[in-house]
A and B are shown apart, each in its own frame.
Chain A
């Protein structure tokens, strides 16, 4: 599925205090807080909600599903049989963020993404952060996501992370944590846009009474942002194209959606080749130069001559054109190093190192098992922790301590002792909840948030993002591949 996030499989039960001494013990609901009266941001919505007939809301909810199915907003699931297409369930109760909360969040996001971009530049150039002893050298050099072919390469405008999706969780009124930095090819933005479209289509009167900041400029902003970092070799108005692995990719809908909304071509590797030192696409009238490639393809597949030689999805010679300054690739190759989980644990230090200020957004406390003392601590507290593989994603190879059997715990201990550098551990956090519509009315469910950050000559953050919600009671798994759904995310106007 497109939202390839790591699972948030922490258990709801709050565990040992020595691990999470400063953690809120009670469940924080974003509509009701910890009390029965609703929180301020939800006033307008609740006013409207009280006047609604539950039956008609249920009907609207089914209507939403029809809208999504008809427009083909699906993701592909590849099983043993032929690929099938599934809908991501959509809940009609919005997740609402006050303008004050948003200002604080966006400051933190801006700071974090700026630091990440500087970090990536640094590790492919002077490596000051290693020399300053903030990050161990082998963590970078030996990292699979570190592309030696990017050393000394200067991307146009020095921008690496043109599009970032930063996953945020909330645990109380004032506590937000970054769970993951997605700076390779973050997905989900089409759901952010379509969710809003659907809500406006179904509840126009609601948007007349509650003032919600618009998200619809995202494609336009993305276009502008990419145009601002055209390569030095570009003459005239730059041509943008979106590179997709093809119609069988799980996120193909989103790739087509973005190309469509930006008014640019959606290309596959087979449409592209190097012509006179530039990347060109095969049109009905011959080859036409592309200046900016928004790729939704992993580094490894980009260029069979420079990376994985078996890739049929990329363009032979793309990296050479890139190095010659004749194309912008967004995001730049090699950014994956910054969403590595071992690097994540250093993110507070990285932010401070490059911005000279304290991080505005917290990391989830992360224990690096590569450090001997920490390993001992993790082994002692294994049943309370979530342990993740450093390079893993999609929830593979991870252990959820509170949910694991004794046997699973002891087997995982062995793995940890054998290869400690392969793992990190985190406490289980109580994610905030937002109500969803169920048969009996409203019921709280856990959520996370992925805001989308655009970076070029300036940083732009679309107010809102993608809210993913665990549809099962008490579940902390928001992944759509495991029954999670989405909500429209509202940021209120002042």
Chain B
């Protein structure tokens, strides 16, 4: 496989994942804004922070109003994480690797791009937002379905999976990290109803509020939530799940060569690190420190993949 193709597949999937994650963040933001008793822009601010685009946002806007944030995260072309930018980049990469993906995959990405370009032509008001977010979610489900249903399970598929899970791991880690210190400024909040709303929003932003209930059959408890999103291997957006999948796919690619598999070694180490923890030990280490370290290691893996498989040279 051409290194350029591997690179294209990887980024195609990262951007598809990103567009969906950004949409989900907005959904959470909207919900938080609706359930607030007093009007506040804090939630929209934390949405921007979670998306990791704070500095770019500040250059464009002075305050964190719903309208500004929605526009910045949905449509702004100067924001590489906006849904429109992400789907644009996903399609451009899909075009680049057109010969490596099935017609179904290409057409689903192309159709999503056409559809989203159309619905995001004009600024989106709060009242239209739920419908539009629904469309975005539906489109990414179509793309995922065609990838899942039509791609040969070989290294082509694996490179696209690597992109998905590196992006997702990064996203989940950031969501927990941002909420952790933004939402728990002092002990006095803990256990309050406001606190409950905050924690639920974390679960919602990774579509896990229902599955949390199925799994724990109990109220929101910070240690459970952390455990669920970080360590639970049956939860498809948890860090441990992502690293299970990364490992699996690096294995598939590794079978092609006899060289030392630097990437796999690295992902194995991260997985072992996750396995060695439980919620209590994470909180003892410090959740923020733990997550910051994880985010760095995850970025490192991305770099190692691009080096070992010659993405750029």
Contact = CB atoms under 8 A, between A and B. Distances in A.
Interface of A: 69-72, 247, 252, 256, 259-260, 265-268, 270-271, 281-286
A260 B98 CA distance: 8
Interface of B: 1-6, 92, 95-96, 98-99, 103, 106-107, 110-111, 114, 155, 253, 256-257, 309-310, 313
A376 to B, nearest CB: 53
A469 B92 CA distance: 31
A270 B313 CA distance: 9
A260 B99 contact: yes
Contact of B3 (A69, A72, A252, A283): A283
Contacts of A265: 2, 5, 99
Most B-side CB within 10 Å, residue of A256, A259, A270, A285: A285
A323 B96 CA distance: 31
A253 to B, nearest CB: 8
Given A71-B107, A247-B92, A284-B155, A271 B98 contact: no
18 contacts: A69-B114, A70-B107, A71-B103, A72-B107, A252-B95, A259-B99, A260-B99, A267-B2, A268-B4, A271-B4, A281-B2, A282-B2, A282-B3, A282-B4, A282-B310, A284-B6, A284-B309, A284-B310
Main secondary structure of the interface of A (DSSP, over half): mixed
Contacts of A271: 2-4
Contacts of B95: 72, 247, 252, 256
Contacts of A256: 95, 98-99
A71 B99 contact: no
Nearest to B313: A282
Contacts of B309: 284
A271 B96 CA distance: 13
A173 B230 CA distance: 77
Contacts, number: 57
A259 B4 CA distance: 15
Contacts of A266: 98-99
A260 B103 CA distance: 10
A72 B91 CA distance: 11
B110 A71 contact: yes
B253 A284 contact: yes
A266 B111 CA distance: 23
Contacts of A71: 103, 106-107, 110
Contacts of B111: 70
Contacts of B114: 69-70
A252 B95 CA distance: 9
B99 A284 contact: no
A67 to B, nearest CB: 10
Most B-side CB within 10 Å, residue of A270, A271, A283: A283
A266 B110 CA distance: 20
Contacts of A260: 98-99
Contacts of B313: 282
Nearest to A252: B95
A294 to B, nearest CB: 13
A284 B256 contact: yes
Contacts of B110: 70-72
A281 B4 CA distance: 10
Contact of B257 (A267, A268, A285): A285
Q: Top 7 nearest A-B pairs by Cβ distance?
A: A256-B98, A284-B309, A260-B99, A72-B110, A282-B3, A259-B99, A284-B6
Contacts of B2: 265, 267, 271, 281-284
A283 to B, nearest CB: 6
Contacts of A259: 99
Most B-side CB within 10 Å, residue of A266, A270, A271: A266
A284 B107 contact: no
B306 to A, nearest CB: 11
A181 B99 CA distance: 30
A285 B114 CA distance: 35
Contacts of A252: 95
Contacts of A281: 2
Contacts of A270: 4
B96 A247 contact: yes
Nearest to A262: B99
A268 B97 CA distance: 12
Contacts of B253: 284
Contacts of A72: 95, 106-107, 110
Nearest to B109: A72
A98 to B, nearest CB: 34
A18 B3 CA distance: 63
Nearest to B308: A284
Given A69-B114, A282-B2, A284-B3, 12 more contacts: A70-B107, A70-B110, A71-B107, A256-B98, A259-B99, A267-B4, A271-B3, A271-B4, A283-B1, A284-B6, A284-B256, A284-B310
